Structure 1
Amino acid sequence: MSRCHARQIILTATERRRLKQIAFAHSAPYQLVIRVRIVLDAAHGYSNNAIARRRGVSVDTARLWRGRYDSEHGVASLSDRRRPGRPPRITPLQRAQITALACQLPAETGVPLSRWSSSELAREAVTRGLAAAVSASTVRRILAEAALKPWQHQSWIFIRDPAFAAKAARVLDLYARVWAGVELGADEYVISADDKTSIQARCRCHPTLPPGRSRMMRVNHDYERGGALAYLAAYDVHAARVMGRTSPKTGIVPFMGLVTHVMTQEPYASAKRVFWIVDNGSSHRGKAAADRLTARFPNAVMVHTPVHASWVNQVEIYFSILQRKVVSPNDFTDLDQVEDRLIAFERRYNETARPFRWKFTPADLEDLLARIERHEQKEHNLQQHDHCDHQPAVLDTAA
């Protein structure tokens, strides 16, 4: 009785080089790497049993891909063949209808929901007769292909400051060390200032447990309130230096205390001009606040960000770092501990801080305003169209 011999594979230099590139590639799919290595071992004359031991696969797997490799098609011959599988239960039309349903707000369709979930979409699709039966997991797969997640939401705020462009441009110019078209001198500085309100001292009823093996840090849910304080900070935009202080509450007096704390130290005390970028909070809002600042320190200039555009203020980036690294998770015995931690972090931050890489330029501002203008024009056209659709028909009786 004749024995079955393993198929002999002979590779050209080009084939071998191509297969070796895939066999040792870090980004190639793991299954393809194993199959390529099986072919290379077979070309070196290894038996199927030896290949199975070398590659940690079964003998049948080694035999399969050894026999499947085709020199004419190369690596493509190592791909999985198409499997017929079960016929799809959801037609392309039904997929499109489910996707269109997900792109509508539930309230607009008469459903008393704030947003869709995959299970609610599946239920609504069956109710409307879009499909005889569809599961929530099927809906999720359909929406994943269209990159839709209607169960998520993101808040945003529309620009409504009529002087947004002018105010934002002034702030962006200061970040680029320009004021009124003239470059700032070496003795002129830019300060970004604001206050972070209501930092609470939450004393946990059980001590916080440090992370351990296969366990993250554990913070007890129950706590006792130990009061709250405000943290006011002034950030030197180009020197990446933070100067802060705490206060029981915010207001004109605490803010002017921060200004005095900064403006009475060098190099700001003897500077030609110090620009203070602030938002429209009650403690530094409007012309009265700007006049109050200049009257107290003649070399200080207050520059307001547009209304509802605190994101233009760079100190907000520092506050976000402070929130992540110091305040959360909140576990302080009293307000003194909160204050000590804030001031200690400020010193630690100043030791290694570098200026933020501010990427929003005046050109980006122009693009943003152009997009808003196109959006407003589109909304206006839609409203005009709806108004015309609802106008009563008028019979033309002119003869």
Structure 2
Amino acid sequence: MRIPCARPVLLAAAERERLKKMAYGHKTEYRLRVRAQVVLHAARGRSNARIARETGLHLDTVRTWRDRFATGGLPALADRKRSGRPARFTPVQVAEAKALACQLPAETGAPLARWSCPELAAELTARGSTDTVSASTVRRRLREDALKPCQYRSWIFIRDPDFRATAQRVLDLYARTFEGAPLDEDEYVLSSDEKTSVQARCRCHPALAPGRARATRVHHEYGRGGALAYLAAYDVHRAKVFGRCEPKTGVVPFMALVAQVMATEPYASAKRVFWIVDNGSSHRGKKAIDRLTKACPNAVVVHTPVHASWTNHIEIFFSIVQRKVVRPDDFTDLTQVRNRLRAFEDLHNATAQPFQWKFTTSDLDDLLARLDRHPSADRQEESSAALAA
């Protein structure tokens, strides 16, 4: 019986370099490393039997990879596509799982607030949709459409009948226009609000600084050192912030902030200074407008829509204060809180740039159009009518 001769292997310089990286690379998969070694040995003119002895592989394995490379080159060293085991989770069952994940558990009678993948798998089995299915299989199928039934986000439906007109005034001011006319150089836009209950929590043990593979650690127990309110006004286009700390919020503290800001330049001699505020008790309604206009004739109050504080730039600044200054709250007393807030104002005013506000009136129209198509809109109108009755 004639023994077949080993097929000759000739390598180009680029192929040899790539095979060496595969054969001796630390991150190369073992199977690819072995195949590359077989080809490199074959390129040196060695027989299959010798290669098998030196690599510890079976002779048939060496012959297979030598022949495949001689026929197809480098791409032939990769695994061929395989049919694999037939899918046990059929497309119909996948669709049922995704449809169930898009339903609230209460609608199905399950005593749950949110679905988890194990509970979805159990529900599908209980319904007879499938004999058995694992939670990992459900999770993998839901990931295809980015379905995350275990997560939730809160939101609030628009109830202000003048939402668009009110919001447009605010958005136009961010774009330096008011009532269709551009603002002059001596007109300014301030965004203002109060951050309540900034607490001084004195930890029972000092915080531990971060280390290698360890985050900052703050002791859970603390003593209460009181709380204060932080009032601030933010110049939208100049990125300047003016703040003050008060024992509590109210009309008097807010007017003190107004006096503090309006007594400084360029606001004292400005043609108009627009104050964007929400509908909090300190600056709500016509009385607040008259009060502020009487104190500062060049001040113009502009209210945000009801339940739409997200249109107020000062909320962005307060979120920065919450992350960078307040949390984790570890203060010995309220004096330390006040000092840190003042120091952060100086740091912010020296380095900050105006926020890149990208939500325009066109985006507002798109939002309102989507809400009009939302199925909850009719339910909201019915609820509002019932409350009014």
Letter in 2 for 1:8: V
The residue number in structure 2 matching 1:151 is: 150
Q: Distance in 1 between matches of 2:3 and 2:158?
A: 84
The residue number in structure 2 matching 1:215 is: 214
TM-score, normalised on structure 1? 0.80
The residue number in structure 2 matching 1:281 is: 280
Residue 200 of structure 1 deviates from its aligned partner by 1.1
The residue number in structure 1 matching 2:252 is: 253
The residue number in structure 1 matching 2:108 is: 109
Larger deviation, residues 140-149 vs 247-256 = 140-149
The residue number in structure 1 matching 2:51 is: none
Letter in 1 for 2:319: S
1:93 aligns with 2:83: no
Letter in 2 for 1:369: L
Residue 134 of structure 1 deviates from its aligned partner by 2.0
TM-score, normalised on structure 2? 0.82
Residue 90 of structure 1 deviates from its aligned partner by 2.1
Counting only pairs closer than 5 Å after superposition, residues 309-328 of structure 1 correspond to structure 2 as: 309-328=308-327
Counting only pairs closer than 5 Å after superposition, residues 179-218 of structure 1 correspond to structure 2 as: 179-218=178-217
SS in structure 1 of the partner of residue 201 of structure 2: strand
Q: Distance in 2 between matches of 1:91 and 1:328?
A: 49
Q: Distance in 2 between matches of 1:318 and 1:59?
A: 66
**How many aligned positions are there?**
359
Query: How has the CA–CA distance of structure 1 residues 343 and 65 changed in structure 2, closer, same or farther, with 3 Å as cutoff?
Result: farther
Q: Distance in 2 between matches of 1:252 and 1:160?
A: 26
Q: Distance in 2 between matches of 1:66 and 1:332?
A: 71
Deviations 1:357-377 (A, max 9, x none): 11011111121122222336x
CA contact (8 A) 1:38 1:66 kept: no
Q: Distance in 2 between matches of 1:379 and 1:71?
A: 66
Deviations 1:280-311 (A, max 9, x none): 11101111101110000000000001111111
The residue number in structure 2 matching 1:80 is: 79
Residue 76 of structure 1 deviates from its aligned partner by 5.5
The residue number in structure 2 matching 1:8 is: 9
Letter in 2 for 1:209: L
Q: Distance in 1 between matches of 2:164 and 2:71?
A: 64
Letter in 1 for 2:148: K
Residue 10 of structure 1 deviates from its aligned partner by 5.2
Residue 68 of structure 1 deviates from its aligned partner by 4.1
Letter in 2 for 1:249: K
Gap runs ≥5 in structure 1: 24-28, 49-57, 385-399
Residue 154 of structure 1 deviates from its aligned partner by 0.6
Query: How has the CA–CA distance of structure 1 residues 325 and 43 changed in structure 2, closer, same or farther, with 3 Å as cutoff?
Result: farther
Residue 235 of structure 1 deviates from its aligned partner by 0.4
CA contact (8 A) 2:234 2:240 kept: yes
Q: Distance in 2 between matches of 1:277 and 1:91?
A: 56
CA contact (8 A) 1:10 1:43 kept: no
Q: Distance in 2 between matches of 1:79 and 1:160?
A: 61
Residue 2 of structure 1 deviates from its aligned partner by 8.8
CA RMSD in angstroms, aligned pairs only: 3.5
Counting only pairs closer than 5 Å after superposition, residues 10-29 of structure 1 correspond to structure 2 as: none
Letter in 1 for 2:131: A
Deviations 1:102-154 (A, max 9, x none): 11111011111111111211221121112222222222122112211101001
Q: Distance in 2 between matches of 1:302 and 1:160?
A: 21
SS in structure 1 of the partner of residue 194 of structure 2: strand
CA contact (8 A) 2:8 2:70 kept: no
1:224 aligns with 2:184: no
CA contact (8 A) 2:206 2:219 kept: yes
Deviations 1:319-372 (A, max 9, x none): 111111111111111111111111111111111110111101111112112222
Letter in 1 for 2:211: G
1:371 aligns with 2:359: no
Q: Distance in 2 between matches of 1:157 and 1:97?
A: 30
The residue number in structure 2 matching 1:334 is: 333
The residue number in structure 1 matching 2:295 is: 296
The residue number in structure 1 matching 2:174 is: 175
The residue number in structure 2 matching 1:119 is: 118
Gap runs ≥5 in structure 2: 22-26, 47-54, 383-389
Query: How has the CA–CA distance of structure 1 residues 187 and 81 changed in structure 2, closer, same or farther, with 3 Å as cutoff?
Result: same
SS in structure 1 of the partner of residue 193 of structure 2: strand
Query: How has the CA–CA distance of structure 1 residues 8 and 168 changed in structure 2, closer, same or farther, with 3 Å as cutoff?
Result: same
The residue number in structure 2 matching 1:54 is: none
Residue 216 of structure 1 deviates from its aligned partner by 1.3
CA contact (8 A) 1:8 1:43 kept: no
Q: Distance in 2 between matches of 1:368 and 1:282?
A: 28
Query: How has the CA–CA distance of structure 1 residues 46 and 207 changed in structure 2, closer, same or farther, with 3 Å as cutoff?
Result: farther
Residue 249 of structure 1 deviates from its aligned partner by 0.7
Query: How has the CA–CA distance of structure 1 residues 232 and 70 changed in structure 2, closer, same or farther, with 3 Å as cutoff?
Result: farther
Query: How has the CA–CA distance of structure 1 residues 130 and 239 changed in structure 2, closer, same or farther, with 3 Å as cutoff?
Result: same
Residue 172 of structure 1 deviates from its aligned partner by 0.9
